[in-house]
Each structure stands twice: as structure tokens, then as C-alpha cells.
Amino acid sequence: MADDELVLEEAREQMEKSVESLHIDLGKIRTGRANPALLEGLDIDYYGTATPLRSLATISAPEARLLVVQPFDPTALGEIERAILKGEFGLSPINDGKVLRVPIPELTEERRRELVKGVKKIAEDHKLGVRGARRDANAMLKDMQKDGELPEDDSKRGQKKVQELHDSVVKRIEDFVQAKEEEILRI
């Protein structure tokens, strides 16, 4: 594989990490429908140690507006309930002694607009990661050209490929964001 192709592949990997991270972040945004990703990142104080909820329980969405949290250790139920109540989600779990049922309330129009703004900010943060990968790749290509490892034509061609990759990844991010906005605003 040529040096410029290695640079392009490394840039692609970095940009894909930004896209994957965006998927995770957008999955945590509440849209009025139950999504287990909403609670997965929550940390629980389990015997004095901050432990991710997904390590302590299974989270399922048996209905469109209900999450069910089934702890592996029933003694952790109270701590899980407290963490959900303290979370920024505005959720009120129902504890039946074995599982937590977490109803997902309907979103107000104002809250939907706030969520859309938040989605746009998250997307911009991830686009910054993509731009950083492009900047690093272009700098590597220019350095390789300056050091005589890469002819100028190959460097320019590589920079053009990096730009095309950047544009396609940014377009994918914008498409994901558009879909998420439509999901949030759908009543």
C-alpha cells in the first residue's frame, strides 16, 4: 500500500470513529419513545464503585413508551432507582421489588425544540473531529512531500481524496442529524 493510501486509510478510521460516537450520542437523546440506549450510559453506585448500568442489569423496551430494567443482583434495585431519579432524563421509575418499570413521558413542543438544538450541537462537535482528521491527514501528506517521500502530484491527489472523504462523512453526519431531528419533532 502506498504511503498516501495509508494516510487516507488512517483518516478514514478517525472519521468513522466520529460517526460511531455520534450514533452513540444520538441514541441517548430521548425522543418520546423508549430506547434502552437512554439509560445504558448511567453510572450506578454499586458497593461504593461507579458501575455502568448495563453491567448491572438488562434494559429492554417491551412497549413503545416503557423501559424495563432487570438487575442481575436484586439488592442493586434501590441504587439503580436513585440513579435514574437523579439523572437528567426527568424519568420516574416504578419499583415493584424485582424490576424497574420506567415510563417514557410525552415530550412538549418546547422540549422537542431544545432537543433539536442539542442534536445540532452534538453533530457540530463530531464534525470537528472529522475536520481534525482531515487536517492531520493533509499535514501528513504535505510533510511527506516536503521530506521527498511523496511526489507533489501524489500529495495533491491524496489531499483531494481526503477532502472527498471528509465531504462524504460530513454528509452522512448531516443525514443522521436530519433523521434524528425528524424523529424528535414527530408527534
CATH-assigned architecture of domain 37-103: 2-Layer Sandwich (3.30)
The pLDDT score that the predictor gives to residue 88 is 66
Cα–Cα distance for residue pair 53/3, rounded to 1 Å:
43
Cα–Cα distance for residue pair 7/9, rounded to 1 Å:
5
Portion of the chain with pLDDT greater than 70, in percent: 96
The pLDDT score that the predictor gives to residue 186 is 79
**pLDDT bracket for residue 128 (50, 70, 90):** very high
**pLDDT bracket for residue 53 (50, 70, 90):** confident
Amino acid at 175: D
The pLDDT score that the predictor gives to residue 87 is 75
The pLDDT score that the predictor gives to residue 91 is 81
Indicate the domain borders of the chain. Answer: 3-27+108-185, 37-103
- The class of domain 3-27+108-185 in CATH terms is mainly alpha
The pLDDT score that the predictor gives to residue 166 is 95
The pLDDT score that the predictor gives to residue 30 is 64
